[in-house]
A = this chain, B = another copy of it.
Amino acid sequence: MIKKAKQVTIYDIAKTLNISAATVSRALTGNVDVKSDTREKILNAASNMGYSSNNFASNLRKKQSKMIGVIVHRLNSHFLAETLAGIEKSLNMAGYHMIISQSHESVAAEIKATKAMLKNRVDGLLVSLCYDNDTTRHFDELINQGVPVVFFDRTPINGEYDHVKIDNFKAAYEMTMHLIRQGYKRILHITASQRRDVYADRLAGYKQALQDSNIAFNKDLVLVTDLNPEYGVEAANYIMNMKARPDAVFTVNDFLAVTCMKALQKMGISVPRDIAFAGFNNDPISKLVTPSLTTVNYDGVKIGQLAARTLLNKLTEKINAKSNIVMAHELVVRESSVKKN
């Protein structure tokens, strides 16, 4: 067991300088009048003695932690990593730190993490919900105690909570329309839990596009997955065994699209000639794969920054309005969905 050196406190500095701890505190926090030469003496002593302010004591006293909790389903996802990078950047600029937990798509873990965040007295919480969560009671507990919560990407189904997201309905509608305009009619949609708004909204957009194009919705052309990347291969097998194969596949994320596409190619399917492909997220891989993948682009870093700033605003501003922010997205049309004649 490593024993910690006893830490230097403001009292130690005060004693050395024969002044009071109050003055030391004032000089160190810098925001009150202290004679400039005593301030200098204090700063020097602090530096020489290796003083480092104890945030626990300070936080306990001030009842604020300058810490923001972040709960995501996993860290090793391209999109979430981008988002977290954006969050960290914005928080850091504002002098906040972030403490992260993974829910691993488990509601129980999400609840546990939320409770831990409360104990750590985070000043606010940023959340992207886990896969099949449909309860938000554990967040209400925080909110009721005055700890603001902002959701990003995967948000509660009812729009009653502050959130930052893209218009998933519209994006999926546009993508489906793009495929239809290219002449594809049997579009297979690979999606995930309909309890998660992002996937439900995308399916709705897909359906609407079919309807607006007078194409009958066929529920055999919707596959619900758990987003496990290996499912791409399974989906490919499913497609090969269909009596009437789709002429296009539209998945809710790029990775799934790419693994499925690669598996089909190995089985002799030509993309996009036999089957076209479209994904979602603009993962770096979508640009580099052959054929390059048509997808929906939106800026994860920006979403993160915006979510963080929205939260910080709630912390500091007088007004307490609900923020429902919709970020821009764009279709990125690449080779995988363009019909060659």
Q: Which residue numbers of A lie inside 8 Å of B, CB to CB?
A: 1-5, 7, 50, 52-57, 59-60, 63, 65, 67, 74-78, 80-82, 84-85, 88-89, 92, 97-102, 115-116, 118-121, 141, 144-148, 255, 258-259, 262, 284-285, 288-290, 300-301, 314-318, 320
- Is the Cβ of B121 less than 8 Å from the Cβ of A63? no
Contacts of A56 in B (CB 8 A): 56-57, 59-60, 65, 121
B75 touching A97 by the CB < 8 A rule?
no
Pull 27 A–B residue pairs with CB atoms less than 8 Å apart, ordered by A: A2-B314, A2-B315, A4-B145, A4-B147, A7-B145, A50-B145, A52-B118, A54-B60, A54-B121, A55-B120, A56-B57, A56-B65, A76-B78, A76-B301, A78-B78, A89-B102, A92-B102, A97-B116, A97-B120, A98-B99, A255-B284, A259-B288, A262-B288, A284-B285, A285-B285, A288-B289, A289-B290
> Complex Cα distance A81/B258, Å?
21
- Given that A4-B63, A56-B60 are known contacts, is A84 also in contact with B75, CB under 8 Å in the complex? yes
Interface centre among A56, A60, A119, A300 (most CB of B within 10 A): A56
Copies of the protein in its oligomer? 2
User: 10 more A-B contacts (CB under 8 A) besides A1-B318, A89-B102, A97-B116?
Assistant: A7-B145, A50-B145, A52-B115, A54-B119, A75-B81, A75-B88, A76-B84, A92-B102, A285-B288, A289-B290
Q: In the A-B complex, list the 4 residue pairs whose CB atoms are closest, starting with the nearest.
A: A4-B146, A290-B290, A56-B60, A81-B81
- Cα distance, A319 to B2, chains bound together (Å): 9
A67 neighbours in B (Cβ, 8 Å): 99, 120
Known: A2-B320, A289-B290. A98 touches B100 (CB 8 A): yes
Alpha-carbon gap, A258 to B285, bound state (A): 10
> How far, in angstroms, from A97 to B4 measured CA to CA in the complex?
20
B-chain residues with CB within 8 Å of residue A92 when the two chains form the complex: 101-102
Closest residue of chain B to A3 (Cβ to Cβ) is B146
Q: Which residue of B lies closest to A262 (CB)?
A: B288
Q: Compute how far the CA of A141 lies from the CA of B60 in the bound complex, rounded to whole angstroms.
A: 25
- Taking the closest CB of chain B, its distance from the CB of A252, in whole angstroms, is 17
A293 → chain B closest CB, angstroms:
10
| Complex alpha-carbon distance, A98 and B82, angstroms | 18
CB contacts (< 8 Å) of A255 on chain B: these are 284
Instruction: List chain B residues, Cβ under 8 A from A76.
Output: 78, 81-82, 84-85, 300-301
Contacts of A259 in B (CB 8 A): 288
